[in-house]
Structure 1
Amino acid sequence: MDRILADSCNPRELSTASLAFVGDAVYSLMVREHLCCTCRSGADVLHKRAVEQVRCAAQSEAIRRVLDMLTEEEHAVFNRGRNAHTSHVPKNAAVADYRAATGVETLFGYIYMCGRIERLRELFDAMNDPQQSEE
């Protein structure tokens, strides 16, 4: 599968905010699907676990596990998102974590819009592998 919709657009021409907008949904969907397949709990527990995994601090920690895996192009996209001007930072988030999370969402939006689903899976799996941080 390349993308859910077949709409034609060049991801390189999309704004950072647009890529992060899509990437937020993609990352959230991947977290939810992963939880549904690995955690046999009710929706309330699944929701709480999903919220824990998609919060800024968790995304910031997770991306550190895979920075060495990113291609030059992916690093550039991540940095573009991380360095993008944001009008506000949620009061419960550290600025560095919020910026890193925006970078993650921008990266996931870009890779998704490029139709590279297998690469998304590879990065997501590594980001959520506790042993990845030990290597």
Structure 2
Amino acid sequence: MEKIMEEQTYEQMNGIALAYMGDAIYEVYIRKHLLQSGITKPTKLHHRATHYVSAKAQAFLIDKMNEKEIMTEHEAEYFRRGRNAKSHTSAKNTSVLTYRISTGFEALFGYLFLSGQTERLDRLAEWCIETVEKEKK
């Protein structure tokens, strides 16, 4: 897949804007996974999706990425850009720190998408899904 936008555009984008895109992209991966696993009832889909897309789940995944050294240094820069961004929304049902870490997680996904790194995005999303699945057992 080719880049969605020019490098200088996403390079200059703030962490919140990257997270805005990344939130949507990660959500699509999760929805696809849930539908492929045979879940079709809207309430069950929503309930199961929260295991993957909640701020707590995303912060957990960042901890695991750091533990397993999954992110490249360049990717970690985009994570930090999202984590450190000044947000005008507040955390719901979680701590401010967890919320900020999840914003960094989403910024990473936004960066990978906007830079056209589809294979890396696919592998990372697959790793996240597998990691959450293992944790649930």
CA shift at 1:41, angstroms?
3.6
CA shift at 1:80, angstroms?
1.1
Normalised TM-score (structure 2):
0.83
CA shift at 1:92, angstroms?
1.0
CA shift at 1:7, angstroms?
5.7
Quote the Cα distance in structure 1 between the aligned partners of 2:79 and 2:5: 24
Residue 129 of structure 1: SS of its match in structure 2?
helix
Are residue 34 (structure 1) and residue 28 (structure 2) matched?
Answer: no
What is aligned with 1:108?
Answer: 109
Quote the Cα distance in structure 1 between the aligned partners of 2:5 and 2:127: 29
Aligned residues with identical type, % of pairs? 34
Normalised TM-score (structure 1):
0.84
What is aligned with 1:124?
Answer: 125
> Structure 2: where are the runs of 5+ without partners?
none
Quote the Cα distance in structure 2 between the aligned partners of 1:73 and 1:59: 19
Quote the Cα distance in structure 1 between the aligned partners of 2:12 and 2:92: 31
> Structure 1: where are the runs of 5+ without partners?
none
Whichever residue aligns with residue 17 of structure 2, its letter is S
CA shift at 1:86, angstroms?
2.0
Q: How many residues align?
A: 131
More divergent stretch after superposition (8-17 vs 40-49): 8-17
What is aligned with 2:71?
Answer: 70
Q: Any conservation in 1 of the 2:14–2:81 contact (CA below 8 Å)?
A: no
Q: Runs ≥4 in structure 1, deviation > 4 angstroms?
A: 6-9
Whichever residue aligns with residue 97 of structure 1, its letter is T
What is the CA deviation profile of residues 44-96 of structure 1, one whole-angstrom value per residue up to 9, with x for unaligned ones?
Answer: 21122113321100111112222311111001110111111223422411112
What is the CA deviation profile of residues 80-122 of structure 1, one whole-angstrom value per residue up to 9, with x for unaligned ones?
Answer: 1111122342241111210110001100000000011111111
Are residue 24 (structure 1) and residue 23 (structure 2) matched?
Answer: yes
Q: Any conservation in 2 of the 1:126–1:132 contact (CA below 8 Å)?
A: no
Structure with the higher fraction of residues in helix conformation: 2
